[in-house]
Chain A
Amino acid sequence: MTEQSGLTYSVYDTDHMTPTEIYGYVLAQLGEERKEIVALTADLAKSTKIGKFGDKHPERFFNVGIAEQNLMGVASGLALAGFIPFVSTFAVFAALRAGEQVRTDICYQNLNCKIIATHSGLSFGTAGSTHHCTEDLAVMRTFANMTVIAPADGFETANAVRACVDYPGPVYMRIGRGFEQTVYENENYGFQIGKAVTMHEGSDITVIACGPCVLQAVEAARTLKENQGIEVRVINMHTIKPLDREAIIEAVNDTRKIITVENHSIVGGLGSAVAEVITDEGKSCRLKRLGIPDIFAIVGQTDDLYNLYKIDAAGITEAVGELLGKEVEEDDDWEDEI
């Protein structure tokens, strides 16, 4: 860890710190500045790294034991008492086991709780479906008042954690198990909740990704450009809700071919959200959604699973080839838009 003078943010040693470790570090640091931050977990202080906050601020750290419903209820009570609770457990427990508490206690009351869920998607591949979570984006984005964020890497996690402190209302943020590689070089790229980031310019086709799939998409785009001269635009849609509709519409107008990639079920997540925008706008567009099909994923190493379900660079490259070979039916105002 190094602190550089003249920068607002710390620069993290990403060679030695995983996104979850960065989360724990940033939260502990925020705890110094903001005394109203409290942190809670359900016997996953070490795994989620929220324990780093607990090490620094033990009086504001609460472990409620393996009781996720109570975890969310207690967080609601602390928010009602004027605190900003950060709550961490595995995504599958935050979104599903305690889903009703998140909806009714936190979202319905529009409370200032920040749920940082780790081990999302297939990041805990070997644990099997009990600990995979490929449903959380679908569930969370249907809760009114909820903001849903899936950061691409550790730098973005740091930015998102900082940003959500002063972003009013409930936030659900999904990160991985902590072994994810970085896609950004530093934190200074102008992160803003609800504002997508173009990671790679391109006009032939657009890949809209979130979470660790952003890196996969960027790698695919670079290779496709170098080897085949194909210009792939890559958009990091780190905020699933509120969605950056303008970025999607612009991509449709410019490229007419869209691929979404996510470490989540193809039902209800980023791909569905993007499809909703395209449909609402009445745009003609070829859309392919890459994600976990409507099954319970098999057990395996995360990288292998990414490859199997075609959400890695190879899968994205294949999908680009497939989509580029297909026609797009023209709509009435086609000429006006391109």
Chain B
Amino acid sequence: MALTDKELEYLTETAWKIRRNIVQTTFWAGGGHIGGGLSQTDILVILYFHYMNIDPQNPDWEERDRMVLSKGHGGVGYAPVLAEKGYFSGELLKKFNHTGSPFGMHLDRLKVKGLDASTGSLGHGLPIAVGLAMGAKLHKKPWRTYCIMGDGEMAEGSIWEGAMAASHFKLDNLTGFIDRNKHCIDGCTEEVMAIEPLKDKWASFGWNVLEVDGHDFRQLGEAIEKAQLTPDKPTVINCLTVKGKGVDYMEGKPEWHYGGLDTKMVEEALKSIDRLYGKA
């Protein structure tokens, strides 16, 4: 069912809060992958706050939907989502990256409640998600597995090993997202290692391929629902996103793949996010 206006408003409000919290967490952490943390935000928000069947009070519930952040460096953008959802107190994020903190650049499932897999090494997440989706089928359970991949990690061979297996095993309970912000560390993906034509690649690997504006909840919602209704094959949603989305001085800038913020930069970033959401 398409999102109602009220649901859209709730998601938008939540994304605003989380984007602000990502900026603050990056500040507390002394730096982080804020560019990709902000490009993936809306995908995580619609999953955690609308589509995923989960219970933050019972994070290990066996029937829950699973999410694997294959682009594990997005941790600084993911932990605020889990905090907002209620898996743990947002206060804990003030210790992000601090020695002995449960939160580091790449989140650890054994330390962070709500996390379904420890990730960080690129190209690993999709195969893990494939295993989870196969597990649900074996259990004959309806829970779904979601996997958010970075576009930079499309250059990893193991992504394509996983892609091949997912269609071979007809994993229609698996939905992949590509956070197509068009940048990896050393520059534009097409300059560092061309991955286009990306949709054709996934289609040729046997996936149902959709493409959306990765910051448009209505488009994301329609695609997720189409994926749920597509039988016998996994779906990948190529999400066209903007690196650093919401912070005007970061948007589309590869140098904001990773960065630290001082108090003035935080202030400007929060103002920019407020303007995006009409809160200024």
Question: Which residues of A are in contact with B by a Cβ distance under 8 Å?
Answer: 38, 59-60, 62, 64-65, 67, 69-70, 72-83, 100-101, 104-105, 108-110
Q: List B contacts of A38 (CB < 8 A).
A: 138
- Determine if B127 and A101 form an interchain contact, defined as CB atoms under 8 angstroms apart: yes
Specify the chain A residue showing the minimal Cβ separation from B127.
Answer: A73
- Binding site of B, secondary structure by majority: helix, strand, loop or mixed? helix
**What is the distance, in angstroms, from A170's C-beta to the closest C-beta of chain B?**
13
Specify the chain A residue showing the minimal Cβ separation from B141.
Answer: A81
Sorted nearest first, the 7 A-B pairs with minimum C-beta distance are A77-B131, A73-B127, A81-B135, A70-B161, A67-B161, A74-B131, A69-B158
Given contacts A77-B133, A82-B62, A109 and B123 within 8 Å (CB-CB) = no
Is B105 on the interface with A (CB-CB < 8 A)?
A: no
Q: Give the size of the chain B interface in residues (CB under 8 angstroms).
A: 33
Q: Please name 13 pairs of A and B residues whose Cβ atoms are closer than 8 Å in the assembled complex, sorted by A.
A: A60-B138, A62-B169, A67-B158, A67-B161, A70-B158, A74-B131, A76-B128, A77-B117, A78-B132, A81-B132, A83-B138, A100-B124, A101-B158
A100–B123 CA distance with the chains assembled, in angstroms: 11
A27–B138 CA distance with the chains assembled, in angstroms: 19
Q: List B contacts of A60 (CB < 8 A).
A: 138
Q: List A contacts of B131 (CB < 8 A).
A: 73-81
A21–B90 CA distance with the chains assembled, in angstroms: 54
Partner of A69, one of B66, B117, B161: B161
Specify the chain A residue showing the minimal Cβ separation from B129.
Answer: A77
Q: List B contacts of A76 (CB < 8 A).
A: 117, 127-128, 131
Q: List B contacts of A72 (CB < 8 A).
A: 127
A79–B134 CA distance with the chains assembled, in angstroms: 11
Is B116 on the interface with A (CB-CB < 8 A)?
A: yes
A75–B135 CA distance with the chains assembled, in angstroms: 10
Partner of A70, one of B66, B138, B139, B165: B165
Question: Which residues of B are in contact with A by a Cβ distance under 8 Å?
Answer: 62, 66, 108-110, 116-118, 120-121, 123-124, 126-136, 138-139, 157-158, 161-162, 164-165, 168-169
- Determine if A80 and B132 form an interchain contact, defined as CB atoms under 8 angstroms apart: yes
- Determine if B128 and A69 form an interchain contact, defined as CB atoms under 8 angstroms apart: no
A58–B164 CA distance with the chains assembled, in angstroms: 20
A62–B137 CA distance with the chains assembled, in angstroms: 13
Given contacts A67-B164, A69-B157, A81 and B130 within 8 Å (CB-CB) = no
Given contacts A64-B165, A70-B158, A82-B62, A77 and B121 within 8 Å (CB-CB) = no
- Determine if B138 and A77 form an interchain contact, defined as CB atoms under 8 angstroms apart: no
Specify the chain A residue showing the minimal Cβ separation from B131.
Answer: A77
Q: Which of A59, A73, A100 has the most CB of B within 10 A?
A: A73
**What is the distance, in angstroms, from A67's C-beta to the closest C-beta of chain B?**
4
A133–B118 CA distance with the chains assembled, in angstroms: 29
A72–B121 CA distance with the chains assembled, in angstroms: 14
Q: List A contacts of B165 (CB < 8 A).
A: 64-65, 67, 70, 74
A72–B162 CA distance with the chains assembled, in angstroms: 11
Q: List A contacts of B126 (CB < 8 A).
A: 73
